[in-house]
Structure 1
Amino acid sequence: MENSDHTFNPSLAAALMKFDPEDGEQIVEYFNTHVLLSREKALLQASVRDQKKLLVENGKLKNDIQQLRVQLQDKQRRRTAKALLAPAPPPVGASAAVPTNPPPSSSHDRRDRQNRRRRGERKARPNSGALSLEAEPCIDPSRLDLRVGRILSIRRHRLAETMSVQEVDVGESTPRTVVSKLEETTDFEELQGRLAVLLCNVKACQLRGVVSQARLLCCYSSNDCSELLIPPAGSNPGDRVTFLNYPGEPDKELQAKQRVWELLQPDLQVDSRGVATFKGCGFEVKGKGLCRAPSLTNCIIR
């Protein structure tokens, strides 16, 4: 019924015109219109399917790019470590005995030996740095000093309306002052007295005249909604948040040049069940449970 030009079959059209000269032309026009509409509908449905497929593929490509970036950084660090740890040439005269009657050598050979000696002396110097690099711990979340804290008080920063200042009990002799960026609609009275999760081994820094001594961990969705990450019920200030697959003790203080937080943060996420994870491994307070987002899912933690 439909020919290669997506119109009504000419032979059938001629038969209709012959059978019904008065209405045949209108019937043929109706069928031609129906064929064109059917074709446009099929093209539109195929376009929608292609768009959905492209969105899924774009999401996968973004994840692949992020993983490749991390792998490239790891390879660069390993390459640097391998170059520094390469054995240096032995010092001159340390291994081979000098012949009693050495054969005569040309001036070119003497210059070549002198150049090799100089290069050997330069390569022997970085040994101490190589040893220190070899002892450097790897980048994993056990280096983060994450603790449960209780917000004792919260107020608006006097010099920045988008910031708040909290006094937080993290199980130490005195509370820590924490400067955070919270939404304008945040209910301060509701947050006072609540438990939260804090990163406690960041370097203290001054934000608009107030020294911040820790980082308050929050969950952020794609539409800019945010809420505090909360520890499991029964947690107490000072309880440490750990990761089952990453045992170890946290750094005393995270060094800015090592960028530990920056490298780990992209993999700190809330899964589809609302559980805080690092590469699928949950934030855990031993014996008490897992840390969660109050209502958000599939979002980032920072």
Structure 2
Amino acid sequence: MADSTSATPVLEETIPQLNGNLKFRTTILGEKLSIADVAVYARIRGQAASWSDEQKTGEKGYRYIIRWVDFVQNTPDLGLQIPPEEKVAVDPSKVLVYLKPEELVKEKKKEGAADGEGSKKKGRGRVAVGEAKEEAEKVKEGVNEAAGKAAAAVASEGKQCKREKREKPKREAHKKEEPVISPSQIDLRVGHIVYCVPHPNADSLFVSTISMGDPEGSPLVTPHSELSLPNIVIAKLTPLPTVRTVCSGLNGLVPIEEMQDRRVVVANLKPVTMHGIRSAAMVLAASPAPVPGEDATAHRKEAVELVAPPKGAIDGERVFFEGYKTEPEAVLNPKKRIWEQIQPGFATTSDLDGKAPGEGPIGRLVTESGGVSKVKSLVGAVVR
């Protein structure tokens, strides 16, 4: 990437507009990363680096630009490889104002209501013009047909009324409000893998029995009568807790020994049946970011590591991103593609902790008890 000092800075008067455009967007184009993100980043990097904490994350600061800048300079998808000393410093401990997800929903509803009111006014304007036209045409008809018969005049007016009724403009439909996507919607929990076996019908899958602190009777848990656990496992867990069955594509990537009797971080994806076995969650793992031109979904078999909660974390304990602790979705709706929109920026840092993008500075993956979730050794790895 070219040095930002050689790029023309963004005009100061356009910075507020850029900040507003990024309010509900992750990228410049609003859908996916592009050369536009690289070009604008090169122009504004020097300016953003010189901003004070108030300018970055204060009440009237450029918080959306800072969030976007931090995402662009750290995402492995662009492969910019910017030296740490040249990156814009974003310190979560110096954030002055956090904007809650529910406040974003209220602001967007207000914008939608304003758009709707403008549509109503336009509609009323067209009706008024139509009514004036009706009156003019009626007067003209009255003059031309004054000498005609009364019956002919009445018939003519009747036909005119029907024609006007057909030509009445339709009301404009309100634009559908787009939902606000936030990392807080993902329900991440500490899970204890009590037993793991290869999937009997799929060589790439493991089938894990995981304790996640679910209440009795939850539709996500597997009845004890359907479990097939070794006696040594049952004896160790007496009384046996509620458990979920989870299929994960880690067979051949993670040794099965590492999948036994250990704690992991589990996400609340919608239950699906995988080769005959119902899976009710997803185990998080990290792998190196793909080289440009490679399959973005491919894992490198020699380097896949499970995301581990901190020591002392208990089964079912909530895991969340700093600054995004609100009530999550019970189960992610696949049609909303919430996970697919959050996951591209979910990666490990030099501290080996997981982070994900959102409104405001990036937050670490922490537990309610205060610990940070980590991987063994992968830096800049993609978590999925």
With the shorter chain as reference, the TM-score category is 0.5 to 0.7
- CA drift at 1:189: 3.1
1:249 matched to 2:327? The reply is yes
For normalisation by structure 2, the TM-score amounts to 0.50
1:229 is aligned to 307
Structure ranking higher on relative contact order (CA contacts 8 Å, 6+ apart): 2
Distance 1:159 1:245, change over 3 A: same
Shift of 1:118: 3.3
Amino acid at match of 1:294: K
Question: Out of 260, 263, 266, which is 2:338 matched to?
Answer: 260
- What SS class does the counterpart of residue 245 from structure 2 fall into? strand
Match of 2:275 among 201, 205, 208: 208
SS at match of 2:258: helix
Identity in percent = 27
What is residue 165 of structure 1 aligned with on the other side? 207
Q: Are positions 1:278 and 2:235 aligned together?
A: no
- Matched letter for residue 187 of structure 1: P
- Residue 371 (structure 2) pairs with residue 289 (structure 1): yes
Q: Is the 8 A contact 1:235 1:288 kept in 2?
A: no
Residue 169 of structure 2: aligned partner: 118
Deviation at 1:137, TM superposition (A): 4.3
The code of the aligned residue for 1:148 comes to V
Residues 115/71 of structure 1: CA separation in 2 closer, same or farther (3 Å cut) = farther
Distance change (3 Å), C-alpha of 1:249 and 1:91: farther
Could you say which structure has the higher strand fraction?
1
Normalised TM-score (structure 1) = 0.62
What secondary structure does 1:196 align onto? strand
Q: Provide closer, same or farther for how the CA distance between residues 82 and 71 of structure 1 changes in structure 2, counting only shifts above 3 A.
A: farther
Amino acid in structure 2 at the alignment position of 1:209: G
Q: How many angstroms apart in 1 are the aligned matches of 2:244 and 2:263?
A: 14
Give how far 1:140 is off: 1.1
- CA distance in 2 between counterparts of 1:196 and 1:71 reads 35
**Unmatched tracts of structure 1, length 5 or more:** 1-52, 58-66
Partner of 1:72: 29
* Change over 3 Å in CA distance of 1:260–1:113 after alignment to 2: same
Q: 1:183 to 1:102 in 2, by over 3 A?
A: closer
Change (3 A) 1:151 1:91: farther
Q: Distance in 2 between matches of 1:87 and 1:289?
A: 50
Distance 2:167 2:324 in 1: 46
| Alignment correspondent of 2:79 | none
CA contact (8 A) 1:183 1:226 kept: no
* Greater C-alpha radius of gyration: 1
How many aligned positions are there? 223
